[in-house]
């Protein structure tokens, strides 16, 4: 009886130590104790399930920086954990953390899990992080989900490189900013046709405020052969 | 007749008492055989010994002490982890695989701004982590951040309290906290 009790206490000590070690110091520093504890529980469950946990911590830190209420932060992190789980299921057990994270982003944008599975089949042996990111970007830009899905799948089947996926997203974005309907811009760029649209101009929103923004990646995209 | 038999017995006994002729290298051959067989025999014995079930008698106090020791090791490992030491994730990634990072330049043109900061998934959404530098008097603010391939959410913080999405980038649908984010997808070098 005593030995059994000692075993239980020993197990409790080990579990307690594991939970403490799972408490990310960033959460403790920037969230109230109750919220940090709830997030830590979600993170621990995700880790046990083999899901990436850094996006969950990032989402919590984002909420903290934006001054969101604890309950809202917990709800957002829990929703993201579920999306990560669905993405992992759709992409397969061998999916990397980056792929699962990008897959969750694509799901949030409006892609369905079957699309993730089809993309995996279309780009066997290749990493899907960038294609999934571009898919989410296209949908976020207003490209209808089926058109965006078709464009990305076609590119994957043609063994395109990551840089070519990024170039697709950038070209569609440029065309949309120039005034092209998102569906047309994506369909044209997906067929590899040169755009006949006028040169890009600042977006309406940016022009209205007088503010402009841009991002430039160090590696220029390669053109498809 | 009896004397003859005794003599025969005596001769046979004499013959049997004599040491048989042995090969001069017999000892060496026997010892070589023994050495050859002793090594696998030792391993087999050790393997058998470790597989044999044994009954251990441990007091509850000793079990607690062992558990506390293991818990201490787990905590020590956690305390010594890079994240707990406060090493920024970006610098850690750079230290691990500098070739896999792509420099990404973030630019915001806002003449009215007095300060601009970049926050996002790559810097723990820390407002003080990546301030933009004013590149010209026309209000061009920029900062370059090395990023691994992937998709990132980010936004600009102007004058320390105004959160604005990048006007030149798509915004995320996952607007969980009421302020829109921009997104960027980064390809790896040479991929």
DSSP B134-145: EEETTTEEEEEE
Q: Does B151 touch chain A if contact means CB atoms closer than 8 Å? A: yes
**What's the domain count of chain B?**
1
Q: Does B132 touch chain A if contact means CB atoms closer than 8 Å? A: no
Q: Which residues in chain A are contacts of B186 at CB distance < 8 A?
A: 130, 166, 217
B126 inside domain: yes
pTM listed for this prediction: 0.66
The whole domain housing B152 covers 92-186
Distance to chain B for A141, nearest Cα, Å: 6
Quick check: ipTM above 0.90? no
Q: Which residues in chain A are contacts of B74 at CB distance < 8 A?
A: 14, 17-18, 21
Is a pLDDT exceeding 80 seen at residue B66?
Answer: no
Strand partners, B106: A215, B143
Q: What is the pLDDT of residues B143-188, one digit of tens each?
A: 999 998 888 999 999 999 899 999 888 888 667 888 889 998 888 7
Alpha-carbon torsion, ordered A208, A209, A211, A214, to 10 deg: -50
B127 inside domain: yes
CB contact under 8 A, A66 and B177: yes
CB contact under 8 A, A79 and B176: yes
B58 inside domain: no
* CATH assignment of the domain containing B165: 2.60.40.10
Chain A residue whose CA is closest to B148: A98
B157 inside domain: yes
Short-list B82, B83, B87, B90, CA closest to B148: B90
pLDDT band at A3 (very low <50, low <70, confident <90, very high): low
Q: Is the pLDDT higher at B52 or at A31?
A: A31
Is a pLDDT exceeding 90 seen at residue A83?
Answer: yes
Chain B residue whose CA is closest to A11: B67
DSSP helix/strand/coil, B107:
strand
Short-list A48, A61, A49, CA closest to A15: A48
- How far is A143 from A106, CA to CA, in rounded Å? 13
B112 inside domain: yes
Helices (H) and strands (E) in chain B, counts: 5, 8
């Amino acid at each position: 009886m005593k030995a059994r009790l000692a075993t239980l206490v020993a197990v409790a000590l080990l579990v307690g130590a594991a939970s403490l070690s799972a408490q990310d110091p960033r959460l403790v520093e920037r969230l109230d104790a109750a919220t940090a504890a709830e997030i830590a529980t979600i993170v621990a469950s995700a880790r046990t399930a083999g899901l990436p946990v850094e996006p969950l911590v990032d989402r919590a830190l984002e909420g903290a920086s934006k001054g969101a209420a604890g309950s809202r932060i917990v709800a957002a992190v829990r929703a993201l954990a579920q999306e990560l789980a669905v993405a992992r299921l759709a992409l397969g057990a061998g999916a990397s953390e980056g792929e699962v994270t990008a897959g969750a982003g694509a799901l949030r944008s409006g892609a369905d899990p079957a699309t993730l599975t089809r993309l995996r089949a279309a780009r066997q042996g290749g990493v899907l992080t960038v294609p999934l990111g571009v898919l989410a970007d296209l949908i976020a830009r207003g490209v209808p989900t089926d058109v965006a899905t078709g464009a990305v799948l076609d590119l994957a089947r043609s063994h395109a490189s990551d840089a070519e996926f990024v170039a697709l997203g950038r070209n569609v974005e440029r065309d949309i900013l120039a005034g092209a309907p998102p569906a047309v811009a994506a369909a044209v760029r997906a067929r590899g046709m040169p755009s006949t649209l006028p040169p890009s101009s600042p977006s309406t929103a940016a022009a209205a405020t007088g503010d402009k923004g841009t991002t430039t990646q160090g590696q220029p995209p390669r053109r498809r052969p | 007749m009896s004397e003859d038999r005794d003599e025969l017995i005596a001769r046979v006994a004499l013959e049997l008492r004599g040491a048989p002729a042995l090969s001069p290298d017999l000892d060496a051959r026997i010892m070589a055989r023994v050495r050859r067989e002793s090594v696998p025999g030792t391993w087999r014995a050790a393997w058998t010994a470790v597989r044999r079930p044994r009954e251990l008698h441990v007091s509850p106090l000793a079990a607690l002490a062992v558990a506390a020791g293991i818990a201490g090791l787990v905590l020590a490992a956690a305390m010594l982890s890079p994240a707990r030491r406060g090493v920024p994730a970006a610098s850690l990634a750079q230290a691990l695989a500098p070739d896999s990072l792509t420099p990404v330049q973030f630019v915001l043109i806002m003449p009215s701004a007095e300060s601009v900061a970049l926050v996002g998934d790559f810097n723990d959404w820390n407002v003080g982590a990546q301030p933009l530098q004013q590149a010209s008097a026309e209000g061009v603010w920029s900062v370059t951040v090395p990023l691994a391939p992937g998709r990132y959410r980010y936004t600009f913080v102007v004058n320390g309290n105004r959160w604005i999405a990048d006007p030149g980038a798509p915004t995320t649908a996952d607007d969980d906290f009421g302020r829109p984010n921009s997104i960027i997808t980064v390809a790896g070098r040479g991929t």
